[in-house]
Amino acid sequence: MISTFRHFLGTWPARVFFLLLVGVFVIWGVGDVIRNAGVDTSVATVAGHKIELPEASEAYRRQLAQVTRMLGTSIEPTPEIRRSVAAQSLEALITRTAVSAAVAAMGVVVPDEALRQATFGMAAFKGPGGAFDKNVFLSVLRNNGYTEQHFLDLLRIDMAQRQLVSALRAGTASPDVLTRQVFAFQQEKRVADALSFPFAAAAAPPAPTDAELTRWYENHKDQYSTPERRRIKAIVLSPETVARDVQITEDDLKAAYEQRKADFMQPEKRTIQVVLLQDEAKAKALAEAWQAGADWAKVEALAKQDGGAPVELDNAVETEIPAPELAKAAFGAAVNTVLPPVKSALGWHVLKVTAITPAADKTLDQVRPELRAQVLADKAADIIYDRANKIDDMLSAGTRLDALPGDLGVAAVSGTLDAQGMAADGKPAPIPGDDQLRAALIQTAFKMKQGDPAHLIEAPREANAAQSFYAVEVDDIQPPAPRPFAEVKPAVQADWTHDAVRHTQEEAAARALTAIKQGQTAAAAAAIAGVTVQRLPPVGRAAPADGVPTQLIDPLFSLKQGEPTMVETPDGFTVAVLAEIQRADPNADPIGFGQVRDALGRAIADDIQAAATVAMRDRGDPRINRAVADRIAQGE
C-alpha cells in the first residue's frame, strides 16, 4: 500500500495537483496581505509608538487577575467588569507610554548597573540569607505573570520616570499664608459649657402593663428573633497552617536580623527647651540671661515679654524638629548647655538640651518572634502558592472540602454560626486566621446559597502581610425566627423601660435647649432643670478630649460663640453652649506647624506630578483604535 502511494506521488497528475495546491495557498496568503495593507491593527498610537494587541491583552490579563483575586475566585467577573478592566489597563498603558516618550525625549537614561543594583536590592527577590536569589526572583516573576526581560524593561522605564518625577517634586513647598490657614483650621480648639441629662439620673417610670409590653414586643419583634445561622465547612491555607512543613534555622533568623537591622535601631532622642524669637537682638539677650543661670520658668516669662514662643520638646528625634538648622544645633549640643541663637526660616532659636537618650539597637533575642513570623511567611509563600493551585484545580473539578487530601497543610473547621461569627453558645466560632480572614470567610458564607460549590478565595491582608486563602461550603441555612414573648419578656420590659427613660431625658434636654435659645443663660437653664453646668476641656476637630462626648465635636465647630446645641450620647443627652474659641498660634507649636507645612508640600508635589502626567499624556496625542481595543476583553 505504502509503495503504491509512493509510486503515485511520482506521477505527473500528482505533481500537477500539488502545484495547484501550492498556488492556491500562495494566492490566499498574498490576498490576505493585500487586504490588510494600509489597515492599522494596533490598539492605540501614542507619541508615534504603536501599542499592539498582544501588549494590551497582557496588561489586561494581569489587571483582571488582580481584580479576580480581590473579588474572590467564587465570583466570575461580569462582561461589564471585564470591559472596565480593559479600559483601565489600556489607559494606564497609554499614560505609561506617553510618559516614557517624554522621558526619552529629555535624554533620561538608566544605566545597566543602576538597573542591576535596583533589582538586587528588592526585598521580594532575596532568599533566606538576605542576598539576591535568582530562583526566588524567577519564582516571583512567574507567579505574577512576567518574563525576566519584560520585568527588566518595565523596571527600566519606571526608574527613568522616577528620575523625572523626582525633578518635578524637588523644591515644592507650601506658601506660608496657606500653611497658616490650614494650621489654624486644624489646630483650632473649642470650649463649651455643658448640661448633662444622663439616663441613669432619671426617675424610674411606672411599671408597664402586660398590654404595653405586648404592644412593644409586636412593634419590635425583629429585635427578639434568633439570628440567621448557617452550618458550614471551611478550610484555611496560610503560613501558620503550613508551618510544620517549613524549617526555620538559627542562620535564617540571623540573616533576617542583619537584613532588617536598621528597622531595629532606636534613634537618639533629646529633650530640648527652645524659644523662638523674631528679633536677633532679643534672642541674644535671652541667651545671655539663660546662660547666666535663669531657670526655665524665668526664661518662659522673658520670652513672652519679648513676643517669643517658648516650647519644650520631650524625647524628640532629629527628624521631628521642623527646622533643619535647629535640629542640627540641638543634636550637636552638649547636655545642659545654652547655645547662641540659631537662625532658621522660622526665626531665631535659643535652646538648651536638658536630657539625651542614646541610640540603642534591639537584640536578635528581643525581635526573635517577629523575625520568625517574617521568615515563616517568606518561606511559606511558594508552598502556599503551589498548594493553592492544587486545591483550586481539585475544587474546580468538583471535589468537596471534606474530600481534600490531608497532606495539603490546610486547617479545616465546621460548625454553625451567625453573621457575626458567633456559635450557638454565644462564643466566637473557632475559625483559624486573623480578623480580616475571619471576617471575609464569614461574609462569603452568608453570601452563598446552600449547596453552592466551594471556590478558593484569596483573603484580604495588610500591606506586606503573608498571603492566605480560604474556601467555604454551606450545608444548611436556619432562617431567623421570633422568640416567644414569654421567653423574652424580661428583655422586652428592660427595653420598654429604657425607652421611657430616654423620652423623659430628651424632653428635659429639649426644654433647656429652648430656654437658652430664647435668651436664658446656661446657668439659669441648668437651675430650672435641676442640673449643673460643667465647663468642658478644649477639643479639636480631630483631637478628642477626655470628658467631651465625641457626638458633640462636629456640632461645636458649626456654632458661633454663645450658640447652643443638643446631642444624644450612649449615656444620655447633652446640651452645650459654645463658650470659647481658641485660635492656634504657629509660634507656640513649631513642630505641629512644620508637620502641616510638610504635608501640604507633599500634596502640592502630588498635584504637580499629576498635572505633568496629564500634560505628557496629552502631548503624546493618544489615538485609540476602538475596533481593535474592543477585542481586548472579548479575547479573554
Taking each helix axis as running N to C, give the angle between helix 134-143 and helix 148-169, from 0 to 180 degrees, rounded to the nearest 10.
Answer: 90
**What is the pLDDT at residue 577?**
97
Cα-based torsion angle of the residue sequence 126, 131, 136, 138 in order, rounded to the nearest 10 degrees:
110
| Of the candidates 630, 538, 624, 534, the residue with the CA atom closest to the CA atom of residue 581 | 538
Residues 453 and 556 in one domain: no
Residues 528 and 503 in one domain: yes
Asked whether residue 591 is assigned to any structural domain, the reply reads: no
**What is the pLDDT at residue 72?**
52
pLDDT(425) > 90: no
| Of the candidates 117, 166, 122, 165, the residue with the CA atom closest to the CA atom of residue 146 | 122
User: How would you list the strands of the sheet with 623-624, edge to edge?
Assistant: 49-51, 44-46, 623-624
Single-letter code of the amino acid located at 344: S
Please give the Cα distance from 44 to 54 (Å, whole number): 12
Averaged pLDDT of the chain: 85
Residues 235 and 378 in one domain: yes
More confident residue, 213 or 461: 213
Residues 6+ apart with CB under 8 A from 559: 565, 578
Q: What's the pLDDT band for 30 if we cut at 50, 70, 90?
A: very low
**What is the pLDDT at residue 69?**
63
Q: What is the pLDDT of residues 214-271, one digit of tens each?
A: 999 999 998 999 899 999 999 999 888 887 777 788 887 888 777 777 677 788 899 9
The CATH number for 568's domain is 3.10.50
Residues 244 and 371 in one domain: yes
Asked whether residue 79 is assigned to any structural domain, the reply reads: yes
Asked whether residue 57 is assigned to any structural domain, the reply reads: yes
Please give the Cα distance from 67 to 382 (Å, whole number): 21
Cell matching residue 350: 535659643
**What is the pLDDT at residue 525?**
95
Q: Is 273 left (phi over 0), alpha (psi -120 to 50) or beta?
A: beta
Sign, CA dihedral 125-126-127-132, equals positive
Residues 6+ apart with CB under 8 A from 578: 190, 191, 192, 556, 559, 560, 561, 562, 563, 564, 565
Residues 475 and 502 in one domain: no
pLDDT(627) > 80: yes
Asked whether residue 219 is assigned to any structural domain, the reply reads: no
Please give the Cα distance from 85 to 273 (Å, whole number): 56
Residue ranges of the alpha helices (H) in 51-199? Answer: 53-71, 79-105, 112-120, 134-143, 148-169, 176-187
Residues 423 and 545 in one domain: no
List b or e across 426-448, with b for residues whose CB sees 16 or more CB atoms inside 10 angstroms. eeebebbbbeebbbbbbebbbeb
Widest CA span in the chain: 123
Q: What is the pLDDT of residues 485-520, one digit of tens each?
A: 999 999 999 999 999 999 999 999 999 999 999 999
**What is the pLDDT at residue 464?**
60
**What is the pLDDT at residue 232?**
93
More confident residue, 52 or 371: 52
**What is the pLDDT at residue 635?**
58
- Percent helix, strand and coil across the chain, each rounded to 5? 50, 20, 30
pLDDT(42) > 70: yes
Residues 376 and 457 in one domain: yes
Please give the Cα distance from 303 to 283 (Å, whole number): 9
Instruction: Tell which of 320, 338, 358 closes a domain.
Output: 358
Residues 317 and 371 in one domain: no
Q: What is the mean pLDDT of residues 300-321?
A: 85
Residues 202 and 280 in one domain: no
Residues 389 and 354 in one domain: no
Burial of 293 by CB count in 10 Å (0-12 exposed, 13-18 middle, 19+ buried)?
Answer: exposed
**What is the pLDDT at residue 39?**
63
Instruction: Tell which of 459, 479, 499 closes a domain.
Output: 479
pLDDT(447) > 60: yes
Asked whether residue 183 is assigned to any structural domain, the reply reads: no
Residues 299 and 435 in one domain: no
**What is the pLDDT at residue 71?**
58
Please give the Cα distance from 293 to 289 (Å, whole number): 7
Q: What is the mean pLDDT of residues 42-62?
A: 87
Asked whether residue 608 is assigned to any structural domain, the reply reads: no
More confident residue, 465 or 569: 569
Q: What is the pLDDT of residues 115-147, one digit of tens each?
A: 888 888 888 788 766 778 888 888 888 777 778
The CATH number for 319's domain is 3.10.50.40
Q: What is the mean pLDDT of residues 414-430?
A: 90
Q: What is the pLDDT of residues 577-596, one digit of tens each?
A: 999 999 988 888 888 888 89
**What is the pLDDT at residue 487?**
92
Asked whether residue 142 is assigned to any structural domain, the reply reads: yes
| Percent of the chain whose pLDDT exceeds 90 | 41
Instruction: Tell which of 440, 457, 479 closes a domain.
Output: 479
Residues 296 and 388 in one domain: no
Asked whether residue 198 is assigned to any structural domain, the reply reads: yes
**What is the pLDDT at residue 27?**
47
SS (H, E, C) 579-605: EEEECCCHHHCHHHHHHHHHHHHHHHH
**What is the pLDDT at residue 5?**
41
Q: What is the pLDDT of residues 593-625, one digit of tens each?
A: 888 999 999 999 999 988 988 999 899 899 998
Question: Domain containing 458: what range?
Answer: 229-255+366-479
pLDDT(14) > 60: no
| Percent of the chain whose pLDDT exceeds 70 | 91
**What is the pLDDT at residue 75?**
55
Please give the Cα distance from 410 to 413 (Å, whole number): 10
Q: What's the pLDDT band for 54 if we cut at 50, 70, 90?
A: confident
pLDDT(465) > 60: yes
The CATH number for 134's domain is 1.10.4030
pTM tops 0.75, yes or no: no
Q: What is the pLDDT of residues 329-355, one digit of tens each?
A: 999 999 998 999 999 888 899 999 999
Please give the Cα distance from 201 to 195 (Å, whole number): 13
Q: What's the pLDDT band for 32 if we cut at 50, 70, 90?
A: very low
More confident residue, 174 or 39: 174
pLDDT(629) > 90: no
Q: What is the pLDDT of residues 181-194, one digit of tens each?
A: 999 999 999 999 99
| Total domains in the fold of the chain | 5
Cell matching residue 158: 519606571
Q: What's the pLDDT band for 207 if we cut at 50, 70, 90?
A: very high
Residues 6+ apart with CB under 8 A from 29: none
